[in-house]
Amino acid sequence: MQTRTARLMDGTALARRVVEETSVRAAEITRRTGVTPCLATVLVGEDPASVTYVRMKRARCAKAGIDSRLVSLPAATTTAELVGTLRTLSQDPAVHGILLQHPVGPHIDERAAFEAIAPEKDVDGVTMSSFASMSFGRPGFASCTPGGIMRLLDAYDVELTGRRAVVVGRSAILGKPVGMLLLARDATVTYCHSRTADLAAAVREADVVVAAVGRPRLIRGEDIRPGAVVIDAGYNAGNVGDVDFDTARTRAGLITPVPGGVGPMTIAVLLEQTVDAASAQLGLATR
Ligand code: NAP
């Protein structure tokens, strides 16, 4: 019997193209206005993973011709202090986008902090205002990982209308918004979460599976419908996703690798949305 091998969805290559286009747009803004698009990244404490993510995002900004301003706050920062910092950045005309690296520590009210980011600078798409705009199909910034997932689906011409999409995970930054974006594209969306009675049964019905959990190989390959599209947003220790890749790729039609699938797209969308924000704030035409 011949074994199927899914086509890989190459997030690294697509992200490179998005970043290249973004760099051209950033340079054009600088040439026309003398102002370089600027992303402020706010880091609370010194969690090694967060420090690495922020360093990576700032390096990508630099390569794309986007300025980045790092605001490092001590781990003991209070909610009020963090809210104050984010409000100040929201009012600073030299800053076009704001990224609060999370998690921010259990003593901080993360939602209150996110809500201190002005919607027009919410390039990471974390505020309730951004979520509402996205859900109502209004202009605004998508949450970056969901936005990146949609770009990947489009780049590989995945038809969504009428297809059954199963999103595993319902976090505010990933599961919930990606479900809303799929719904907006006329997919029939099912959300699964830690209380879902029979996850495998739901996955078996899916034409499109989005795994957004953070549990290594939770989605078994044998539950993937033949020919399904599998998007693995999970990232677990040892470069392992939420999907059992080796078996899933023998059944799926298209599948994202981990790493090199969803991850690079997240940063690409962040940079793109920073340039969108700068264009809008400087009164230039947007995409
Ligand atoms: P999160 O806030 O911890 O949410 C995890 C979700 O998974 C929750 O909705 C939870 O359900 C659900 N869940 C937990 N155990 C489950 C189980 N056994 N069966 C079904 N659902 C279960 O995580 P997140 O921030 O959304 O991140 C999810 C994953 O994506 C992580 O691996 C993270 O590293 C990765 N991620 C990647 C990127 C990227 O750029 N590639 C960006 C963000 C996140 P309840 O709601 O019921 O608790």
What confidence tens digit (pLDDT) does each residue in 220-237 have? 999 999 999 999 999 999
Task: Decide: 258 in ligand 1 pocket, CB within 6 A.
Answer: no
Task: Please indicate if the annotation marks 50 as binding a ligand.
Answer: no
pLDDT surpassing 80 at residue 285: no
Segment among 40-44, 46-50, 206-210 with least mean pLDDT: 46-50
Which regions of the chain carry the CATH code 3.40.50.720? 144-263
124 is catalytic: yes
Which pair of structure tokens corresponds to residue 79?
A: 């909610």
Task: Decide: 213 in ligand 1 pocket, CB within 6 A.
Answer: yes
Segment among 1-15, 98-112, 271-285 with least mean pLDDT: 1-15
57 is catalytic: yes
pLDDT surpassing 90 at residue 1: no
Confidence category of residue 45, pLDDT binned at 50, 70, 90? very high
Position in ligand 1 atom list of the atom nearest CA 266: 40
pLDDT at res. 2: 57
Which pair of structure tokens corresponds to residue 170?
A: 């319902």
DSSP E strand boundaries for 193-286: 208-211, 229-232, 254-255
121 is catalytic: no
Residue 93 · residue 124 · CB < 8 Å: no
Task: Please indicate if the annotation marks 60 as binding a ligand.
Answer: no
Query: What is the value of pTM for the model shown?
Result: 0.96
At 97-125, the pLDDT tens digits run 999 999 999 999 999 999 999 999 999 99
pLDDT surpassing 60 at residue 56: yes
Spatial strand order in the sheet of 164-168: 7-8, 254-255, 229-232, 208-211, 164-168, 188-192
The SS3 call for residue 237 is coil
Which pair of structure tokens corresponds to residue 92?
A: 């600073």
- 114, 213, 215, 269, best to mutate for ligand 1 pocket (most atoms within 8 Å of CB): 213
Residue 117 · residue 100 · CB < 8 Å: yes
Task: Decide: 214 in ligand 1 pocket, CB within 6 A.
Answer: yes
Beta-bridge partners for 231: 210
Average the pLDDT over 82-90 and give the result. Answer: 98
Average the pLDDT over 9-19 and give the result. Answer: 98
Which regions of the chain carry the CATH code 3.40.50.10860? 33-123
CA pair distance 31, 52, nearest whole angstrom = 31
Residue 206 Cα to ligand 1 midpoint, Å, equals: 19
Position in ligand 1 atom list of the atom nearest CA 213: 7
Task: Decide: 262 in ligand 1 pocket, CB within 6 A.
Answer: yes
pLDDT at res. 4: 77
Q: Nearest C-alpha to atom 5 of ligand 1 is from which residue?
A: 213
> How buried is residue 215: exposed, middle or buried, by Cβ count under 10 Å (0-12/13-18/19+)?
middle
CATH class of 33-123: alpha beta
DSSP state, residue 37: -
Task: Please indicate if the annotation marks 25 as binding a ligand.
Answer: no
Average the pLDDT over 121-140 and give the result. Answer: 96
Which among 7, 4, 5, 15 is positioned nearest to 260, based on CA atoms? 15
Which of 67, 121, 122, 124 is labelled catalytic? 124
pLDDT surpassing 70 at residue 70: yes
Strands 7-8 and 67-73: unpaired
Residue 211 Cα to ligand 1 midpoint, Å, equals: 8
CA pair distance 159, 154, nearest whole angstrom = 8
Question: Looking at domain 144-263, what is its CATH homologous superfamily?
Answer: NAD(P)-binding Rossmann-like Domain (3.40.50.720)
Residue 89 · residue 96 · CB < 8 Å: no
Residue 214 Cα to ligand 1 midpoint, Å, equals: 5
DSSP state, residue 285: P
Residue 263 Cα to ligand 1 midpoint, Å, equals: 14
Task: Decide: 234 in ligand 1 pocket, CB within 6 A.
Answer: yes
